């Protein structure tokens, strides 16, 4: 049985895109542990439709990084069997909506096997899912599906917002003893940032981070919404409103401490998610925050999200996606009373 080889990867810091950072994490993961395998649709010679697996087959060979037949339940089920057999699969679902055929394998097996077997069988595996929109993709290529996984006990759910987090969260996910659903915000694949690669373990996994300090209100965001939240905070600063921005990074487990500390400090909170709002992760955050910060809150916790509609066609996606303006409008409502605009508008509408 192959085992972990003590890895000696020099630490180098450089500017790269999130896609490159993920590619580096996969390479270092494959290098660090012979049990790591990368497979999925078009991840081999092509290097993935987003090039995240670029060059891996060339460097590590067909045995370590390979293309599977076109079947997502098959990919996940194969990973379950390989993990039962002692390997550490890191698999790719080509797009968010194309992970749905694997939903039974994920919900009934990946999430449950450790528990079913009292820990005698474990599934150290990573399911990489490029998700969310903002790239002009056609239908079924832009779903925000994180809530489906976050609601499923037994899955850890991670989503980076910077190349550096992408690298370290993926390294941590690969080394994690449990299955991790690794949600990659498509539109951030090409965003650049300073990234420290190499041989250390980051503390990112399971810990939210304050991306911007502020006094007046807390914006809680994750994945694709983090840059939008920061943009809104910058704009608000012009109007003299000082917003704090928390980047969750890990949805499951959830970092209550960081979020609660921030909201107790600012006394106001807006939760931002790109996904349709109803029963999404943002609802969980809002519910938790008011449960834990009720007496510190000067206003209700408000949510900014996509609408409860199927993801729009490209020419209309900008109307759907939360932008800085939608966030700022909502921040403005933090001052209001029990009658939020929406109800009032609803009456107008009906």
Ligand X SMILES: Cc1ncc(C[n+]2csc(CCOP(=O)(O)OP(=O)(O)O)c2C)c(N)n1
Question: Which residues are catalytic, by number?
Answer: 141
Residue closer to its own copies by CB (options 21, 111) is 111
Tokens 């939760």 belong to residue? 271
Residue closer to its own copies by CB (options 152, 195) is 152
The 8-class DSSP code of residue 7 comes to P
Binding string, 321-340, against its own copies, x = CB under 8 A? ----------------xx-x
291 counts as binding another protein under rule CB under 8 A = no
The 8-class DSSP code of residue 204 comes to -
138 counts as binding its own copies under rule CB under 8 A = no
SS3 of residue 30 by DSSP: helix
177 counts as binding another protein under rule CB under 8 A = yes
- Inter-residue contact 304 to 270 (CB < 8 Å): yes
* Residues 100-129 contacting its own copies, CB under 8 A: 100-101, 103-104, 107-108, 111-112, 115-116
Residue closer to its own copies by CB (options 66, 103) is 103
287 counts as binding ligand X under rule CB under 6 A = no
Residue 72 CB coordination number (10 Å): 22
341 counts as binding its own copies under rule CB under 8 A = no
Beta bridge partners of 79: none
* Residues 16-55 contacting ligand X, CB under 6 A: 41
98 counts as binding ligand X under rule CB under 6 A = yes
Distance (Å, whole) CA 285 – CA 258: 12
Residue closer to its own copies by CB (options 154, 163) is 154
* Residues 230-269 contacting another protein, CB under 8 A: 252-254, 256
The distance from CA 195 to its chain's CA centroid, rounded to whole angstroms, is 18
Closest-CA residue to 174 (of 158, 187, 185, 161): 158
Residue 349 interface partner, choices ligand X, another protein, its own copies, none, CB cut-off 5-8 Å depending on type: another protein
301 counts as binding its own copies under rule CB under 8 A = yes
265 counts as binding its own copies under rule CB under 8 A = no
Beta bridge partners of 246: 210, 220
Residue closer to ligand X by CB (options 105, 218) is 105
* Residues 194-253 contacting its own copies, CB under 8 A: 252
Distance (Å, whole) CA 350 – CA 108: 42
Helix axes 225-238, 324-333, angle to 10 degrees: 60
Distance (Å, whole) CA 105 – CA 226: 30
Contact set with ligand X (CB under 6 A):
41, 70, 94, 98, 101
């Amino acid at each position: 049985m192959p085992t972990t080889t003590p890895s000696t990867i020099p630490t180098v810091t450089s500017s790269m895109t999130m896609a490159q950072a993920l590619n580096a994490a996969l390479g270092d993961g494959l290098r660090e542990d012979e049990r790591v395998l990368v497979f999925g649709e078009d991840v081999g010679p092509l290097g993935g439709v987003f090039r995240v697996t670029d060059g891996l087959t060339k460097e590590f060979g067909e045995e370590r990084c390979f293309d599977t037949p076109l079947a997502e339940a098959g990919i996940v089920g194969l990973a379950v069997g390989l993990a039962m057999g002692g390997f550490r699969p890191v698999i790719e679902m080509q797009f968010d909506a194309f992970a749905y055929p694997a939903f039974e394998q994920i919900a009934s097996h990946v999430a449950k096997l450790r528990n079913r077997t009292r820990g005698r069988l474990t599934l150290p595996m990573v399911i990489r899912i490029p998700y969310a929109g903002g790239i002009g993709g056609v239908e079924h290529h832009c779903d925000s599906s994180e809530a489906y996984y976050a609601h499923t006990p037994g899955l850890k759910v991670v989503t980076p917002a910077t190349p550096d987090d992408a690298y370290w969260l993926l390294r941590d996910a690969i080394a994690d003893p449990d299955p991790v659903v690794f949600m990659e915000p498509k539109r951030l694949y090409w965003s650049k940032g300073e990234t420290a690669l190499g041989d250390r373990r980051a503390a990112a996994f399971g810990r939210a981070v304050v991306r911007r300090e502020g006094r007046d209100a807390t914006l809680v965001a994750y994945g694709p919404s983090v840059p939008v939240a920061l943009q809104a905070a910058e704009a608000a600063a012009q109007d003299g409103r000082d917003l704090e921005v928390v980047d969750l990074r890990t949805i499951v487990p959830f970092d209550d401490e960081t979020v609660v500390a921030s909201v107790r400090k600012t006394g106001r909170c807006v939760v931002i998610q790109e996904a349709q709002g109803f029963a999404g992760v943002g609802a969980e955050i809002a519910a938790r925050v008011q449960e834990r910060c009720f007496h510190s809150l000067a206003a209700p916790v408000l949510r900014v999200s996509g609408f409860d509609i199927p993801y729009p066609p490209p020419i209309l996606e900008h109307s759907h996606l939360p932008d800085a303006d939608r966030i700022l409008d909502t921040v403005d409502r933090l001052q209001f009373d029990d009658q939020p605009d929406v109800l009032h508008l609803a009456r107008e509408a009906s």
